[in-house]
Amino acid sequence: MDSKLEAAAKIYDERGFAKRSGYGKHPALLIIDMTKGFTDPASPMGSEVSSQIEAIQVLLKEFRVQGLPIFYTINLYDPDDPGGRLFVAKIPAIEMLAPGTEAVEVDERIAPLAGERVLEKKVPSAFIGTGLEDELKQLGVDTIFITGVSTSACVRASTIDSMSHGYHPIVIRDAVGDRAAGPHENNLFDIDAKFGDVVSLKESMDYLATLATA
């Protein structure tokens, strides 16, 4: 942790931030935008996320063994969507995320199986215009394991909306990534202080093990 984050951590600790909101009893796994446009480091939107993919593979295996809900999102550019137009005004490279292109295909290393939901979104949050909230309610989900990219944008927005909708947001540190270390670490710090619990893969797997033996 750099000196500025250390100073912020001291202030937050003195003022009672960064408590634990904890887990519920019925988790779902949310895999945000792990499509080839984001997982290929050579892509204008991409970054190196091999270690994050390995962590997601571990989570996928356990969620599948236990029959727990799994949701993927893919970010599509729609020039007719007002939010999408504003998003691309900030990041012109988003235009590459056009429907039907390879850039919006889920990375084959963590490809969805039959029955696992793939939701299309046009803005950062997984909750906006996707129907995710309705599906979570129908399944009785109370906890969302949040993985994917990028920490400073879609992961952060989805975490805030998870909390705002009354779910326990659990952000798996090993399974989220960004294009640069600074935004990644700063946003994990802020998420953990205010919106959800940032946990290790091991801690999340320990929790899932309690469900398997319940």
Query: Catalytic residue positions?
Result: 154
Beta carbons within 10 angstroms of residue 8's beta carbon: 17
Distance CA 92, CA 184 (A): 21
Coil/strand/helix, residue 118: strand
Coil/strand/helix, residue 97: coil
| SS3 labels along 26-74 | CEEEEEECCEHHHHCCCCCCCCCCHHHHHHHHHHHHHHHHHCCCEEEEE
161 and 167 Cβ atoms separated by less than 8 Å: no
Distance CA 74, CA 72 (A): 7
112 and 64 Cβ atoms separated by less than 8 Å: no
In angstroms, the Cα distances linking 42 to 13, 87, 108 are: 40, 21, 17
For residue 37 the two structure tokens come to 């446009």
